[in-house]
Homo-oligomer: A and B are copies of this chain.
Amino acid sequence: MKKYLVLYLSIISFVGCGENTKTENPVGTVTEMSTDPLPSWNEGVTRDAIIAYVKDVTTEGSENFIPMSERIATFDNDGTLWSEKPAYFQLFFAMDRIKALAPEHPEWKTTQPYQSVLENDMATLMTYGEHGLIEIVMATHAGNSVEEFEKIVKDWLATAKHPRFNRSYTDLVFQPMLELLDYLRDNGFKTYIVSGGGIEFMRPWVEQVYGIPKDQVIGSSIKTEFDIVDGKPELKRLPALDFIDDKAGKPVGINKFIGRKPVFASGNSDGDLQMLQWTDSNAYASFQLYLHHTDADREWAYDRESSIGRLDKGLDEANEKGWTVINMKEDWKVVYPLELNN
């Protein structure tokens, strides 16, 4: 219970979001910029380490050669493939859902924690703690069928805007990571998402945005139940947690869904540490990649003290073990795809 709520507990107020980075150009698809597989990455040790690893393990005859079926690469989502500030995007979804559902629940106007959501009163919302947030997640993520929920997520993504950038949330994916996903796939790696976020919140869009199929997405989930309603089979989403895919839950989820230990894992917070440890224990040569958010201008800068996406123990262990750490400010030429069209 507790771990899941780490995802939701620490809503930082919108103060300090920095100035808006307005870009009038539409987001473009990336066309071939060069034969460089990682064109949005600056030259340097990080980029070199990634390329050296991929070459090493995919060159036949190499001592570290990894057969194709074992080339499993797992990526965290929030803060690793897209931004997670000022709060997890899924929390904005839940709050918008409360507002959308409010007309059917007039009692919410005077019932907490709903009232605080409706009044955008984050400070009061937070006083209801885990219990209040669980209530909001269940009220917004359960009570419908899996098909209905997929449509709700898609509809929300089509219109919702990020408070700082005033762009669609799916515009705020990291261009260098899109290139890394492609580069790994081009080299025979199978790419998976392993996220603390909701599995059914991610599946409706990750295929199009990241090129990762729905069945390569592992996330937290609520229970579902099969029933036949008026002769029609339905999977109903129930207000009960099923699986928490965070921290020590990540290796558990990886084993459950994939059945193989990854050789490549990437995350950005202490919630990813166990996934990186698990990967590091692979008998094949493995690669651990942390994204360190160091760029307050283009994105955000945070690590050890952040309540969302805290990177503290992970940073120490990365240093100890020689894992690769991306310095966003130094290593990335661009952060978001929209910058490519400037």
**Residue ranges of A at the interface with B (Cβ–Cβ < 8 Å):** 69, 146, 190, 199-200, 203, 207, 213-217, 221, 224-228, 232-233, 235, 242, 248-249, 251-252, 255-260, 274, 277-278, 280-281
Residue in B214, B227, B249, B260 whose beta carbon sits within 8 Å of that of A258 in the complex: B214
Further pairs besides A224-B256, A226-B274: 8, Cβ < 8 Å = A190-B215, A225-B248, A226-B248, A228-B277, A232-B281, A233-B278, A235-B251, A235-B252
Q: A257: which B residues are within 8 A, CB to CB?
A: 215, 257
* Contact across chains for A226 and B213 when beta carbons are under 8 A apart: no
A217 to B207 CA separation, bound complex (whole angstroms)? 21
Given the known interface contacts A233-B251, A235-B252, A251-B226, the answer about A199 and B274 at a Cβ–Cβ threshold of 8 Å is: no
CB distance from A280 to the nearest CB of B (A): 8
Residues of B within 8 A of A260 (CB): 214-215
Complex alpha-carbon distance, A125 and B215, angstroms: 40
8 tightest A-B CB contacts, nearest first: A214-B259, A226-B248, A226-B251, A233-B281, A203-B259, A215-B258, A233-B277, A233-B278
Q: Which residues of B contact A203 (CB under 8 A)?
A: 259
Which residues of chain B are within 8 angstroms of A227 by Cβ–Cβ distance? Answer: 248
**25 A-B pairs whose Cβ atoms sit less than 8 Å apart in the complex:** A69-B207, A69-B213, A146-B255, A190-B215, A203-B259, A214-B258, A214-B260, A215-B216, A215-B260, A221-B256, A224-B256, A225-B252, A226-B248, A226-B251, A226-B252, A226-B274, A226-B278, A227-B248, A233-B251, A233-B274, A233-B280, A235-B251, A235-B255, A242-B256, A257-B257
Which residues of the partner chain B approach A217 to less than 8 Å between Cβ atoms? 259
Contact B224 A255 (CB under 8 A): yes
Give A237's nearest chain B residue, CB to CB.
B255
Would you call B232 and A252 a contact (CB within 8 A)? no
Closest to A256 in B: B221
Q: Is the CB of B199 within 8 A of A224?
A: no
Find chain B residues with CB under 8 A from A249 CB: 226
Indicate the member of A221, A228, A232, A233 with the most B CB atoms within 10 Å: A233
Give A134 to B334 CA distance when docked, in angstroms.
56
Q: Which B residues are in CB contact (< 8 Å) with A190?
A: 215
B residues in contact with A207, CB < 8 Å? 69
Q: How far is the CA of A258 from the CA of B256 in the complex (A)?
A: 13
Chain B residue nearest to A213 (CB atoms) is: B69
Please name the residue on chain B nearest to A204 by beta carbon. Answer: B259
Q: For the complex formed, measure the closest distance between the CB of A287 and the CB atoms of chain B, giving whole angstroms.
A: 16
User: For residue A235, which residues in chain B have a CB less than 8 angstroms away from its CB?
Assistant: 251-252, 255, 278
Measured between beta carbons, the chain B residues less than 8 angstroms from A233 are 251, 274, 277-278, 280-281
Complex: chain B residue closest to A227, CB-CB? B248
A265-B10 Cα distance, complex, nearest whole Å? 44
A278: nearest residue on chain B (CB-CB)?
Answer: B233
Q: How far is the CA of A196 from the CA of B199 in the complex (A)?
A: 23
